[in-house]
Each structure stands twice: as structure tokens, then as C-alpha cells.
Structure 1
Amino acid sequence: MYSTMMSCNETPPDAALNASVHVSCSNHTGLPTPLRILLAIIMLGMIAVGFLGNAIVCLIVYQKPAMRSAINLLLATLAFSDIMLSLFCMPFTAVTILTVDWNFGAPFCRISAMLYWFFVLEGVSILLIISVDRFLIIVQRQDKLNPQRAKIMIAFSWAFSFCISFPSVVGWTSVEVPSRAPQCVLGFTEFPADRAYAVMLIVAIFFIPFSIMLYSYLCILKTVRRNTVRIHNHAESVCLNQGSRLGLVGLQKARPVTVDMSFKTRAFNTILILFVGFSFCWLPHTVFSLMSVFNRQFYYSPSFYVTSTCVLWLSYLKSVFNPVIYCWRIKKFREACLEFLPKTYKVFPHVPGRMKRRIQPSTIYVCSEHQSAV
């Protein structure tokens, strides 16, 4: 069941034709006018940053053939889903926060609910694919995801997300339109079918992806830690072997072999940060949705509107969070972003960073019995 905010005196235009649409009104504690204006302005800024930042990510992958690796295609798809969320969902929520009334009609309530879950579920599916890919590479030592397979997985994720979110727009679940939230959200229902669909939606969006990603990252952390110990032990043995060849004097002057591990762990750390951001933005929304569906007292409480506004704002923050992480953590994306800036904005000259000598991965992996693909 979905709910969105409408005036108490407003009647949905298709209420008489669609028995699944209901109108109920109750008093709720609204936000003060200055706070509503501030939240609307912040959300408009989030829309701009989310759209422009994710658009740059998509343009980089589209315009640069060298960037069309499997992982970058997945990141571009994640950025595209965030763009769609910024364009087709966030503006209507911002307007409703500002005006306190849902002015877009009951039919669009169902459409906006479907679009919201559709784009969110697509982004979560991409994060899940990336996590499983990292798990296979680092833990199972199987690099099976090439660009062609990545495109197939992307197409499958779009189809899966559409199938899960589509019932909310065709009337397979009842839609209630009370003045309870600034956007269509899961609302209280006593019908088993509606509750089953709500639980399925929440499980597909959060619980299953979170569990798989958490397990994958715990296994990856364990593997990286074990390999790091092996690498350092191997480096020390190399130093001792060099010293033994040079004699006692050479042993005293033998320079230790330093290994730069950043090239092995930086990509994983970036994906881990995205996972933490996903958990931070979506855990409150998941708890909120479950309480809305199963707890009548919570759903009809005066503070429900304020709570729904906060958790919706936090869930939208993820679309702004991702491109910032790309530019911060991925050097190629950061350099490509600077190319999009006009030369007049490039005030400071480019200063090359300190070069670090990195040994070949094949040299590192001899410390283990089997070759690793970490």
C-alpha cells in the first residue's frame, strides 16, 4: 500500500473508478515554514549535484573507450539510475515539502511510487553485482566479468527491477492517498497480499543485497589481510636473501623491499565506501517502511510526516553521495572530471604527485602457493 500527501478536501480524480485508491485525512505535525523552505532548497541543490555529477560519470564512460571496462560500465549504470531518480522523483518531493500538498493527482502517486522503487532497486542491484564480482576476483580468484557479460547483467537487473516495482502502478496492491508524507511511501495495511508485497519489496531492496554484500566484504577483508601478511613475510625473506649474498656488511646495508599495496586494495575500498553509504542511507528507510506497514500506531501518529520527510531526504542523499566518491577515490574519473571544467576554472597548475615504484603483481604473488588475482 502506498500513501502520498493530499489535501483533506481534495478528491482523487479516479477515486470513483479505481476502488484501490482511498482518501483519508488525519492531523499531523508539519514542519515549520522556514525549515520547509530550507529543506526544499537543500533538495534542489541535491538534485543539481546528483544530476550533474552522475551525468559526468556517464559521459566519461561514453566518450572514453579506455574507460569502458566491466566495472566502469556498472558504475555508469548506477550513475544513470541516480540521474533518473533525481529527475523523476526528487523534484516532486521538493515541491510537496514546500507547498505541504500533493498537487500531482492520485494516478501520478502510483507512477511516482513505481519509479521510486524502480530506480532505487536498479541501483541496489548494480551494487550487488559489483560486490559479487569483487568477491569472485579477490576470494575465489575468478575474474569472469568482462564488458559483454556486464552488459547482460545490466539488462537483467533492469528487467528484474521493473518486474518487482511494476505491481504498484497497475493496481495489484491498494493505494491510499492520505495527508501523511511528502511522497508515495509504504503505508499501513491489514491485507495479507499488500503486506506480502511490501515485505517482498523491502527484502529485495535492502535485506538480501545487504546480507550478500556484507558477507562478500567480510570474506574480502579476511583474504586481503591474509595476503598482506604473506606479502610482507615474502618481502622480509627477499631482504635476508639479498643480505646473505652480500655478506655481513651487505646485510647491514641491505635496503628493505617496500611494497605498495594501494593498487591492490584501492578499488575494493571504493566499493566498500559505496556499500557503507548505501547502508547508512537505506537502513533508516527500511525500518521506517516496515513500521509503516505493520504498526498502525506509528503510521497514524502526528509525527509520521516529519519522520517520513527525514528518511526520504536521507534515501535521496545516496544519489548525491556516489559521484562524490567516484571523484574522490578514482583517479581516472577525477582527471576526466577536470577535463570538463573550462580552462578559466583551472587556477592552479597541475603538480605531479610523488611517484611510487610498484612491483609487478606476479612478483608479489609468488609468496603464496597459488597465484592470486587480488
Structure 2
Amino acid sequence: MACNDTPVDTYVPFSESTPPTGSNYTALPTPLRILLAILMVIMIAIGFLGNAIVCLIVYQKPAMRSAINLLLATLAFSDIMLSLFCMPFTAVTIVTVNWNFGAHFCRISAMLYWLFVLEGVAILLIISVDRFLIIVQRQDKLNPHRAKVMIAISWLLSFCISFPSVVGRSFVEVPTRAPQCVLGYTEFPADRAYAVMLVVAVFFIPFSIMLYSYLCILNTVRRNALRIHNHADSLCLSQVSKLGLMGLQKPHQMNVDVSFKTRAFTTILILFIGFSLCWLPHTVFSLLSVFSRQFYYSPSFYVTSTYILWLSYLKSVFNPVIYCWRIKKFREACMEFMPKTFKVLPKVPGRTKRRIQPSTIYVCSENQSAV
């Protein structure tokens, strides 16, 4: 949302044709605008279809309704909403260079944008904390019921944080400087405080917590992998001998469990890296827009905002692509939903069909083997 520095008691009417005060902005060349719009349409299709398959898998298969899958389905749903209610209007505005959807919808689109983004970030944060508790603290506390409660709380908090962008006292311009309502320059302390709270909630707090969690997880995985590698012949000897399963003492068998859990964690880590790469530029851009008048009214602001917004939307497409790449069950479900005439991709060799619970062996010691 673009906030001007007009005093509160001096109301300036919305204008869809008059550019904001300051320097004239520079739009992208027409061929480049069309190319970006086409790419965004492709992103909308991939984001909608890919994330819809995630939701359908969890909805149609009760066995898939674990806590982590419910969280991933919620993340997919927020990306679907972002693809349907925000991206199409941005794509049209990129081509026309004019906002054609009315001043009031400008506020609504800003609220929806931050709502769905906040929800997606909240789900990633919950997942990272859950992985931290399982792998580092050896505590598996998240069950489907608790996951549903946390999902409901995350939606409520996301709505409360994003809703002021609709009813706030600050003036919101129709975005002639950007292809979407973005945070704009303002001199009101309250508006600046809200902008800072928004970017802190969207990026800085989640990024800090997730970074700490994943660093601890990486350290734990590395330490345990070295322990297994160096002491494979003596690990878990007491438990294995009691069961009379001396064959399971082999390093290869223990590596199967560690490899499975490490691969699952690596998938979540890749999602975190994608979130960071897509949202760090947007966070810096938003802060500069709010606090730097020179940056906000510079001729290059429109071009910069177009690229930044395009990159932020890329995250909604990034997640299903990673699922398809990393998760075998997701690839199989994609093939099930795909018409037979399009099933031209070769089958990916399957892994050992074993159901491994969160309490799977991660650390083997002479006394216990648990997460």
C-alpha cells in the first residue's frame, strides 16, 4: 500500500490517472512487460495446480492427514489464494501500467496479499520449530489435533496483522508507481511503526527463528552422522542383541534411517532457503519505500517494484516444484491426477517402502535409541 505524507485532516481524493507527487516514473519496455505478464500467468497456473494437488492428496487420503501434511496443505492453500486473488491483478497492471480495479480494491488487495503471505510464513515457522523439537530436543509433540489448533491461531494472527491495511487512517493511493499496492513513503510515525511491524512479522522474526532452528538441526545431524560413521560396529548393540537381530547392526541399515530423516529435513531446509531468497529483497524494498522519500519517488521505483513483486510471487510456485522434486508420494499423486495421455515421464525408481515415525532412530547410544 502506498501511503502519502498528506496530513490526516487534509484528505486528498483517490486518483487513478494522476501520478503521485515527485519525479516521473520509468515503466518497463512493452515487450518486457508482456514477457513478465506471460511468465506470471505460467506461475499462476503452476502455483494453482501444484498446490491444489497437495490439498487434494491430504483431503482424499486419510492416511496422509498427519500433522506435517496438514501444515503443508495449509501452506499450499495460502499459496493458492495468493495465486488467485493477487497475482492476476498484478499481471494485468504490469501490461497496462495502470490500476484498473478501483481505489477500494487497492486496499483490499494489499490486505489479502499480506494475509496470505503472513499465513505461509507462519506455517513455515511452525514446521521449522516442529523439526527442531523432533531432531534436536527429541520431542514429538505435534499431533494432527494440535496442528489444526495452531493453523487456526496462525490464520487469526495473520488476519489481525494484515487487517489494518484496509481500515488504517493513512491515505492509500491507487498504485501508479507500482503494479500493486505496496508500502509507500510516509512521515507519520504510526504508519512507519505499522510498516516496521509488518516486515518484522513477515520476515525478520520468522527468519531468525528458522535460521537458529536449522543451524541447530544441521549441527545435530552432522554430530550424529559422525558418531554412526565412527562407531557403527558398537552402536545399539544391547538393543539389537536382545531382539536377536544382529543383522540390523550393520552400518547400512542405520544409514537408511538417518538418510530418510535427513532427506525429509533437507526438503524443509530448501523451502526455507527459497523463502529467504524470495523475501529478503522484498523486505529491504519495503523498508526503503517507507523511510526513503528519494527512493520512493525515484524514476526507477516502478521498475524495481515490478521485479521485486515478481520475485515474491515466485515463492508460491517454488513450493510445489520442490515437493515434486523431493517427495516420491507427491510425484505419484501428480501422475494419478494427470490424464493418461500426458503420462510420458519415466517412472522414478522407488525407495524402500518403510513407514518411519518421527521417533525413528536419530541418535543411537548404548542406553537408548530415540529422537
Distance in 1 (CA, whole Å) between partners of 2:94 and 2:348 is 45
Distance in 2 (CA, whole Å) between partners of 1:120 and 1:30 is 26
Q: Tell me which residue corresponds to 2:215.
A: 218
Q: Deviations over 1:181-205 (max 9, x none)?
A: 0000000000000000000000000
Unaligned stretches of 5+ residues in structure 2: 239-248
Q: Tell me which residue corresponds to 2:365.
A: 367
After superposition, residues 1-374 of structure 1 pair within 5 angstroms as 2=2, 19=11, 23=15, 24-25=20-21, 26-177=23-174, 179-237=176-234, 257-258=251-252, 259-260=255-256, 261-347=258-344, 350=347, 352-353=349-350, 365-367=363-365, 369-373=367-371
Of the structure 1 ranges 343-352 and 228-237, higher mean CA displacement relative to structure 2 is found in 343-352
- CA contact 1:2–1:113 (8 Å) conserved in 2: no
- CA contact 1:96–1:182 (8 Å) conserved in 2: yes
Query: Match of 1:35, SS?
Result: helix
Unaligned stretches of 5+ residues in structure 1: 5-16, 242-254
Distance in 2 (CA, whole Å) between partners of 1:193 and 1:212 is 27
- CA contact 1:292–1:298 (8 Å) conserved in 2: yes
Q: Deviations over 1:209-241 (max 9, x none)?
A: 000000000000011111112222331347999
CA RMSD of aligned residues (A): 2.7
* Matching residue's letter, 2:45: A
- CA contact 1:231–1:364 (8 Å) conserved in 2: no
Distance in 2 (CA, whole Å) between partners of 1:307 and 1:137 is 41
Distance in 2 (CA, whole Å) between partners of 1:144 and 1:18 is 54
- CA contact 2:361–2:369 (8 Å) conserved in 1: no
* Matching residue's letter, 1:19: Y
TM-score normalized with structure 2 length: 0.87
- The alignment of Structure 1 onto Structure 2 pairs a total of residues equal to 348
- CA contact 1:239–1:257 (8 Å) conserved in 2: no
Q: Deviations over 1:316-346 (max 9, x none)?
A: 0000000011111111111111111122222
Query: Quick one: structure 1 residues 18 and 83, their matched pair in 2 at CA, closer, same or farther if it must change by over 3 Å?
Result: farther
* Matching residue's letter, 1:103: N
- CA contact 2:228–2:251 (8 Å) conserved in 1: no
Distance in 1 (CA, whole Å) between partners of 2:306 and 2:215 is 33
- CA contact 1:174–1:194 (8 Å) conserved in 2: no
Q: Deviations over 1:108-160 (max 9, x none)?
A: 11000000000000000000000000001011111000000000000000000
Query: Match of 1:179, SS?
Result: coil
- CA contact 1:20–1:173 (8 Å) conserved in 2: no
The Cα of 1:347 is off from its aligned counterpart by 3.6
Distance in 1 (CA, whole Å) between partners of 2:50 and 2:10 is 40
Q: Deviations over 1:81-110 (max 9, x none)?
A: 000000000000000000010011110110
Query: Match of 1:145, SS?
Result: coil
Larger Rg: 1
- CA contact 2:121–2:202 (8 Å) conserved in 1: yes
